[in-house]
Amino acid sequence: MSMDETLPIDALAEPGRQPPCVDGRPPCILQVLPALVTGGVERGTVEIAQALTEAGYRAVVASAGGSMVREVTRVGAIHVELPLDSKNPLVMRANVGRLAAAIREHQVDIVHARSRAPAWSALGAANRTGAHFMTTFHGTYNLGGFGFKHFYNSVMTKGERVIAISEFIAEHMRRVYGVAPEKIRVIHRGVDLTKFDPVRVSAERIIALAHRWRLPDGFPVIMLPGRLTRWKGQEVLIHALAELGRHDIRCLLVGSDQGRTGYRQELTDLIRRLDLTDVVHIVDECSDMPAAYMLTDVVVSASTDPEAFGRVVAEAQAMGRPVIASDHGGPRETVLPGRTGWLTPPGDSSALARAIERFLLLSAEERGDIAALAQNFVRANFSREAMCSRTLAVYDEILSGTAPVVQNVQPVDPEAV
């Protein structure tokens, strides 16, 4: 089975679970996003489409297309290709009619928008056809001085229900956009535990990646996964390693520069200037992240801007790896400080250096305890299955006409249960 192949979502096959009927037929959910290319929003869309079809709903996805269309159709959903990646006002207006036609053709009951430009078209189409409208708020979005950008972003708050991918995002929505708490449903992003599971990663995969990256044996490995962009904090980690002053470790910056060759060159120059060319290596995007985590001793997320959720932090812990993350945004919900990892002040290279040094002093037994707790923590709170089942529950809530109520979601500490 290939790495990107979709796997069954067993937790949704609950005995006797039936979706609510609409006029004697299974309900239809339309997810709307710009395009189906690699990314967290796109992956979540495919996973929800699969969960819907397995639970007896009908699933439709509308986008401008992309490499992941085949995954949508493979799980039994229908793909409707429309120019939803355009921000041209005339195209967006035309997309209202196109989406309204798709809603009528497929008898769509709920339109679920996942991005701003297509959300404006989807809202218009839902209003025109009488379909329910809901959104998922995936990030803080650039406000641009509370003018037009604030209005443009606000479409993501106009759903009958609004899914926030973390409590951090929910609070942002309440504070910046005045969203009523009872409309918000916090559903953390989910990790695919059939993929991010140490026992499923073969030694051959790990060895192949170690050879590709020319990693020597016996050196602790620190990894910062994330595209090469300034706010991801690669510079903070490089300065922390310089302060640490050790050359018996290796650091991997894993991620594509996505055309940001200038920033990549800045990082290369900084590494050279701080005499870390033997320590820090910039590698391209990795297609086998489970093996990459297994090669790594500690995973760093040094983002200087808050992560809306922080997928890397959850994935690393699912693989039994301790994490060091910036103390803001999503990681405050996905890390048990001092137990599955450490939180350090954003942009503080000295604090990050101290946290790395603290990790390097841990015994094998202490690392084993962290690994076990980290895996249990992710499995209890941040699985793909939990994300899908909670999202389907929101669809059922809307279809049944249940009045919205305030709901609080706090991650479960597995040692406290």
- DSSP states along 118-148: HHHHHHHHHHHHT-EEEEEE-S----TTTSH
| Cβ neighbours of 130 (radius 10 Å) | 8
CA-nearest of 92, 89, 100 to 133 is 100
| Selection from 3, 8, 72, 76 nearest residue 36 by Cα | 72
Burial zone of 304 (CB within 10 Å; 0-12 exposed, 13-18 middle, 19+ buried): middle
- Here the tokens at position 412 are 């479960």
Please report the pLDDT score of residue 24 as a whole number: 80
One DSSP character per residue, 282-326 reads EE---S-HHHHHHH-SEEEE--SSPPSS-HHHHHHHHTT--EEEE
Q: Are 131 and 96 in contact (CB under 8 A)?
A: no
Q: What one-character-per-residue DSSP string does 201-218 give?
A: S-HHHHHHHHHHTTPPTT
Q: What is the pLDDT of residue 5?
A: 38
Spatial contact of 186 and 334, defined as CB atoms under 8 Å apart: no
What pLDDT is attached to residue 394? 96
Query: What backbone torsions phi and psi does residue 56 show, to the nearest 5 degrees?
Result: 95, 5
> CA 16 from chain center: how many Å?
30
Spatial contact of 77 and 9, defined as CB atoms under 8 Å apart: no
User: What is the predicted pLDDT for the residue at 84?
Assistant: 97
Helix or strand run (H / E) with residue 78: strand 78-81
The radius of gyration of the chain's CA atoms, rounded to the nearest angstrom, is: 22
Alpha-carbon span 171 to 176, nearest angstrom: 8
d(CA 224, CA 233) in angstroms, rounded, equals 9
57 CB contacts (<8 Å, ≥6 apart)?
A: 19, 26, 27, 28, 29, 392, 395
**CA torsion, ordered 402, 404, 405, 410, to nearest 10 deg:** 100
Q: Would you say 326 and 343 are in contact if contact means Cβ atoms under 8 Å apart?
A: yes
pLDDT score, position 401: 86
Q: Return the pLDDT at 13.
A: 39
Which distant-in-sequence residues (6+ apart) come within 8 Å of 338 by Cβ? none
- Residues 200, 222: Cα–Cα separation, whole Å: 22
What are the structural domains, with CATH classification, of the chain? 10-190+383-407 (3.40.50.2000), 198-381 (3.40.50.2000)
Which pLDDT score is estimated for 114? Answer: 96
CA gap 160, 28 in Å, rounded: 17
pLDDT in tens, the chain (417 residues): 333 333 344 434 344 456 677 778 899 999 999 999 877 899 999 999 999 999 999 999 999 999 999 999 999 999 999 999 999 999 999 999 999 999 999 999 999 999 999 999 999 999 999 999 999 999 988 887 658 889 999 999 999 999 999 999 999 999 999 999 999 999 999 999 999 999 999 999 999 999 999 999 999 999 999 989 999 999 999 999 999 999 999 999 999 887 879 999 999 999 999 999 999 999 988 989 999 999 999 999 999 999 999 999 999 999 999 999 999 999 999 999 999 999 999 999 999 999 999 999 999 999 999 999 999 999 999 999 999 999 999 999 999 987 777 666 677 777 765
Least Cα distance to 357 among 349, 346, 365, 345 occurs for: 349
The amino acid at 322: P
Q: Is 116 helix (H, G, I), strand (E, B) or coil?
A: helix
C-beta of residue 134 within 8 angstroms of C-beta of residue 109: no
Q: Which two tokens stand for residue 247?
A: 């050359």
pLDDT value at residue 161: 97
Cα–Cα distance, 48 to 55 (Å, whole number):
10
What's the pLDDT score for residue 417?
A: 54
